[in-house]
Structure formats: structure tokens, C-alpha cells
């Protein structure tokens, strides 16, 4: 089974600050799962490193005040394209990100405050029927995919 994953969760240095983060995601997954790494912000044409961005009133604005919504949307569409090519019905996406976050994102003030909401890519994938899990929800994902 192919499952999309935010590339930064595998340690790929694609984050806005040019770093990756290593999570012990791989060790919890059975060998039958093949991970398809994606970074919607890079796929949307944004550079790395890049200014931090947050969602405010439905738009994605970076800390320099530039509206980067179009790049975020383009990247989300490219991730959806890859999900369809690889037949992914599930995704493990980085929590709280303005692209990848599902359920909670930062409030747009760059103050570290989280509010309810989805990142641009997580929202599009969910709308298209792909089940999105955060990195802290691997157990839940395994439970859901047990019989597939
Ligand atoms: Fe990670 Fe997603 Fe941000 Fe790319 S867009 S660095 S995959 S959280």
C-alpha cells in the first residue's frame, strides 16, 4: 500500500528554515507500506529556505507580508496528482503546518498560537477523499489500514 508522507518527517531538509526533522515514523510502519514523500511548498515552486508563512483569513501570508497562496495551492494540486498516480488513499502529514497541518494550524499572527483549521494541502487531499493523519496519529492510521 502506498501512503503519502510529508518529506520533512523523514528528515528531508525541505522545511522553511532549511531543516528536516527526524521522527521515528518509519519504524512504526509495517514493510507492506511504501511511503511516497512529498513537500507541497517545494512542489508549488517555493525556495528552501523560505520565509515562514501562516494562514490568515483564508490566504497564506509569509512573515514578510507577501501573499503566497497561489504557490501553496499549486503545490497542493501537485501532491494530489502524485496521490492519484500512486493510488494513495492515506497520508501522514506534518501537524500544524500551513500546507500539511490537519485539524490545527497557526493563527496567522506568527505568535505561536494554534487554532482549528487545515493546511492548504491537507484540506485539498481531505476534500478528495484521502484520509490525512498527523505524525502523532500513526497508531490510528495502522488501526484503519489493518484490514486493507
Ligand atoms: Fe514539511 Fe509539508 Fe512544510 Fe514541506 S510543506 S516542509 S512537507 S510540513
At 41-90, the pLDDT tens digits run 999 999 999 999 999 999 999 999 999 999 999 999 999 999 999 999 99
148 Cα–ligand 1 center, Å: 27
Q: Tell me the CA–centroid distance for residue 146 and ligand 1, in Å.
A: 27
Q: 121 C-alpha to center of ligand 1: Å?
A: 10
> DSSP E strands: which ranges in 85-124?
90-93, 104-106, 114-116
Q: From the alpha carbon of 41, which atom of ligand 1 is closest?
A: 5
The answer, yes or no, to whether any atom of ligand 1 lies below 6 A from the CB of 120, is no
**Number of structural domains the chain divides into:** 1
User: Which domain, by its residues, includes 75?
Assistant: 2-145
In this model, does residue 13 exceed pLDDT 90?
yes
Q: Is the dihedral of CA 86, 119, 6, 143 positive or negative?
A: negative
Predicted TM-score (pTM) above 0.85: yes
3-class SS of residue 3: strand
Q: Are 54 and 96 spatial neighbours (Cβ–Cβ below 8 Å)?
A: no
Ligand 1 within 6 A of CB of 145: no
Q: Is any atom of ligand 1 closer than 6 Å to the C-beta of 4?
A: no
| Residues 139, 123: Cα–Cα separation, whole Å | 21
Amino acid at each position: 500500500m502506498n501512503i503519502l508522507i510529508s518529506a520533512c518527517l523523514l528528515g528531508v531538509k525541505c522545511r522553511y528554515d532549511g531543516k528536516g526533522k527526524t521522527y521515528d515514523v518509519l519504524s512504526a510502519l509495517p514493510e507492506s507500506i511504501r511511503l511516497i514523500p512529498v513537500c507541497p511548498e517545494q512542489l508549488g515552486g517555493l525556495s528552501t529556505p523560505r520565509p515562514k508563512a501562516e494562514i490568515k483569513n483564508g490566504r497564506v501570508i509569509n512573515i514578510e507580508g507577501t501573499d503566497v497562496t497561489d504557490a501553496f495551492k499549486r503545490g497542493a494540486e501537485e501532491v494530489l496528482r502524485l496521490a492519484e498516480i500512486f493510488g494513495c488513499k492515506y497520508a501522514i502529514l506534518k501537524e500544524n503546518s500551513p500546507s500539511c497541518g490537519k485539524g490545527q494550524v497557526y493563527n496567522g499572527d506568527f505568535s505561536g498560537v494554534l487554532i482549528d483549521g487545515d493546511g492548504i494541502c491537507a484540506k485539498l487531499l481531505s476534500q478528495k477523499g484521502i484520509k490525512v493523519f498527523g505524525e502523532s496519529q500513526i497508531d490510528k492510521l495502522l488501526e484503519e489500514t489493518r484490514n486493507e
